[in-house]
A and B are shown apart, each in its own frame.
Chain A
Amino acid sequence: MDLLEYQGKQLFARHGVPVPSGSPATTVEEAVKAADEIGYPCVVKAQVQIGGRGKAGGIKVAKDRQEAETHSKAILGMDIKGHTVHEVWIEAASDIAAEYYASIVFDRSAKRPLVMLSTQGGMDIEEVAENDPDALVRLHVDPLLGFQDFHARRLAFEAGVDADVVRPLGALLTKLYDAFIKEEAMLVEVNPLIVTADRQVAALDAKVTLDDNSLFRHPDNASLRNVAAEDEQEQMARERGLTFVKLDGNVGILGNGAGLVMSTLDVVAQAGGSAANFLDAGGGSKAEAITSAVEVILSNPNVTAVLFNIFGGITRCDEVARGLIEAFDQIKPTVPFVVRLDGTNDVEGRKLLADANLPNVHTESTMLGAAKKVVELAG
C-alpha cells in the first residue's frame, strides 16, 4: 500500500524524523485556514501517488493569503497524469541550502534492507544512479543486527555530505530505519532530504510503501488506504476478497492461482486478444466466490467475452461450475463465456455445465484452445 506524501510525513514524524510542519486540506477554505495558521510563505502541494507533481503545476509557493487561495483553487481537482487531486498538503516553506537523497528499500535479492544516500537529491534518482553511480552510496544492513551508528557514519562520509551535518543526518537515518522496521515498510524514500540555511536536516518529501500482509498489526496504517484513488472495480473486488487488477482490454479473465492467471493473460495476448483484468479467485474457492467474481468482471463495460481458466488443486471444478450456473441465474450475462476446467473434480464440473446448458457458454479442453476461442468471440 502506497501512502500519500503527507501520510508518509506523519508516519516519519511519529518516529522522530524531522519534517516541516503542515496540514492536509480537501477544500479551498480548509487550505486557506491551514495556510493562515502555518504562516507565509507556505507551500501548497497536490497529494497524489505519482511523480512529477511539481512539473505538472501541482506544487506552488504562496507568499500570502490571496496566493494560498488561488493555488489551492487551481490544484484541488487538477488532473496529474490521470490522478485527480482530492487533497492538498499545506506546508511551511523551507529555506533550502542543500538537497540530498535517502531511502531504505526491502531488497528482495539480498534479503536485507538496503540503505541509500546521495548528495544529489531533488532530481530523478534513477538518472543519478545511471549517470554517476558513485554518487549513490549503498549499504545493506543485517536485519538481525539493526542499523548501527557506524552504518550512518559510513554512508554520510562516503556520500560526501557536509561535515557539519554528518551527525544530524546520521540521527535522521537511524530514525528512518526505525520507521522502516517498525511500520513494516517495503520502501521509505526521502527526495529531497534537505539541509536548511540554519543547518538543520529535514524530510521535504516522503514516499512510503507498506507491506499489505502486515497491516493486521497496524490498524492505523490500514485505515490510511486511499480509497478515492482506487478504481471502483478494484475496490469492489477487494471488498469481496478477490485478487484483482484492472487492465485495458476486453477479455474478462477468471482463474485460480496467480501464476496461472498471469500465464492466461499472456496466452490470450498471444492469441491476438487483450485481457480486461487479472482475477485470481484463489485456492479452494466455493461457488459463491465464483458468482461474486463474475459480477466484478462484468461490472466493466468493456468486457465483450469472459474466459474461465481453472486447473483445480484445492479448488474443485464442480464448485466453479456451480458458481457459474448461479451467476447466470442471478446476473444473466449477455456476453459469451469460454470455460476450461481441468484438475480436481473436472468430470463433475463439465457434466454440471453440460446439463445446465447455459446460453452462449463454450467449453474447451485446453488452455490454448480456450484462449483462441475467447479472442474470436470477444471480437
Chain B
Amino acid sequence: MAILVNNDTKLCVSGITGREGTFHTLNNKNYGTNVVSGVTPGKGGQDVEGIPVFNTFHDAVEKTGANTAMIFVPPRFAADSILEAEDAGISLIIAITEGIPAHDELRVYNHLATNPNVRLVGPNCPGILSPGKANVGIIPASFFSEGNVGVVSRSGTLTYQIGNELAQAGFGNSSIVGIGGDPVPGSSFIDIIAEFEADPETELIVMAGEIGGSAEEEAAEFINANVTKPVVAYIAGFTAPPGKTMGHAGAIVSGSAGTAKAKQEALEANGVRVGRTPTEVAQIAAEIAGSLKTA
C-alpha cells in the first residue's frame, strides 16, 4: 500500500532537462520509480538517458500514460507548469520548486480546488517517498526502510532528522510526505493524515510542524474527530522571535498567532503527544508501538 506514490506511479517530470531536474529524475528512476517521461517546452523529441521528453504535458500523458507529475522548473514558470499538468489530466502533482510567488500559489490552489480528481503536494517540498516502492522528489532514500510509520512534514531536512531517529529506534516507513514550507501548500496536514488513516499499512503517524499559520491547530481538531491511529507530533520554532520569517516563507509568528506553543497546546488538548526534540518523538513512537503490540 503506502500512500500517493507506489508501484502504479507513472511519473512525468517538468524541467527534466535542467541540471537539478535531470539529477533527481535519474535518482528517482534508479530507486525504482517508474519514470515514463519528461516535459521541457522546445525540447520535445529529445530524451534524458532514454526517458522521452515532450513539449507539453498533454503529449506526455497521451504518449506515455503519465499519472503523476513532478515540477522542477524555476519559480517564475512553476505555477504555469502545475496548471498545465492539471489541464492534461494528471491526478497527482508534486511541486519541488522553492520560491513561487504567493499570489501564484493562491490562484493555483483555488483553481485546483474546482477539480476533485487532482491533488497537489508542495510547492517548496522534498516530495514523497514510499520506501521499497517509489521515490518522487529529493528525499535521500537510503536513510529509510519499509515499515508502518507514516511521516508528514513541512520541512525537508527536519523530516530526515526525525526519520533517522525513528530508524535508529527500529521503525520503517509506509510513506514520507513533505507538504512544504510555503504559505499556501497544495495539501495540508489534514489531507495527508486522512490518507494515512485510510492506509492499512500505516499503524502510526508522525507529523512535524513548525511556526506560522494555523495548519497544525486545524490538524489537531481533525485528528481528534477522525483519526483512530496514534499520532505523534513535533513542532519547530519555539525560540523564533515574532515578526521574523524563519527561512520558510510560511514560518512567521505574526502577533499572537502561529506560535509553536499555541500549536503544541492545540495538539495536546486534542490527544496528540508532542515530542520536545526529534529524539523524543522517536521515543514516544517506540512507547506507543510497544503498547500497540501488547494490546
CB within 8 Å of B: which residues of A?
Answer: 106, 108-109, 111-113, 126, 142-144, 181, 184, 186, 211-214, 216-217, 243, 245, 247, 255-263, 265-270, 274-275, 278, 280, 283-284, 311-314, 342-344, 366-368
Contacts and interface: CB of A to CB of B under 8 A. Distances in A.
Contact of A283 (B106, B138, B239): B138
Nearest to B280: A368
B279 A366 contact: yes
Nearest to B234: A263
A111 B111 CA distance: 11
A263 B101 contact: no
A126 B251 CA distance: 21
Contacts of A142: 110
A147 to B, nearest CB: 14
B181 interface: yes
A266 B239 contact: yes
Contacts of B210: 258-259, 262
Interface string B87-104: 000000000000111111
B30 interface: no
Interface of B: 20, 75-76, 99-104, 106-107, 109-111, 113, 126, 138-140, 143, 153-161, 164, 181, 183-184, 208, 210-211, 213-215, 218, 234, 236-241, 244-251, 255, 260, 276-279
Nearest to A126: B255
Contacts of B106: 106, 111-113, 143
Contacts of A261: 246-247
Contacts of A284: 20
A362 B208 CA distance: 29
B277 A312 contact: no
A313 B160 contact: yes
B222 to A, nearest CB: 13
Contacts, number: 166
A5 to B, nearest CB: 17
Nearest to A218: B101
A184 B101 CA distance: 8
Q: Is the interface of A mostly helix, strand, loop or mixed?
A: mixed
Contacts of B244: 245, 278
Given A269-B238, A367-B161, A368-B277, A258 B126 contact: no
Nearest to A145: B110
A365 B139 CA distance: 21
Given A213-B101, A213-B102, A266-B239, A259 B154 contact: yes
Contact of A343 (B111, B138, B140): B140
A283 B104 CA distance: 23
Nearest to B279: A368
A278 B160 contact: no
Contact of A109 (B76, B155, B214): B214
Given A214-B101, A313-B138, A258 B181 contact: yes
Nearest to A209: B254
B246 A313 contact: no
Contact of B241 (A214, A247, A258, A270): A247
A111 B157 contact: no
Given A143-B107, A343-B140, A311 B164 contact: yes
A266 B239 CA distance: 6
A265 B158 CA distance: 13
Contacts of A214: 101-104
A186 B153 CA distance: 24
B249 A213 contact: yes
Given A111-B113, A213-B100, 8 more contacts: A143-B103, A214-B102, A259-B247, A260-B160, A262-B155, A269-B239, A283-B138, A343-B143
A265 B240 contact: yes
Nearest to A180: B103
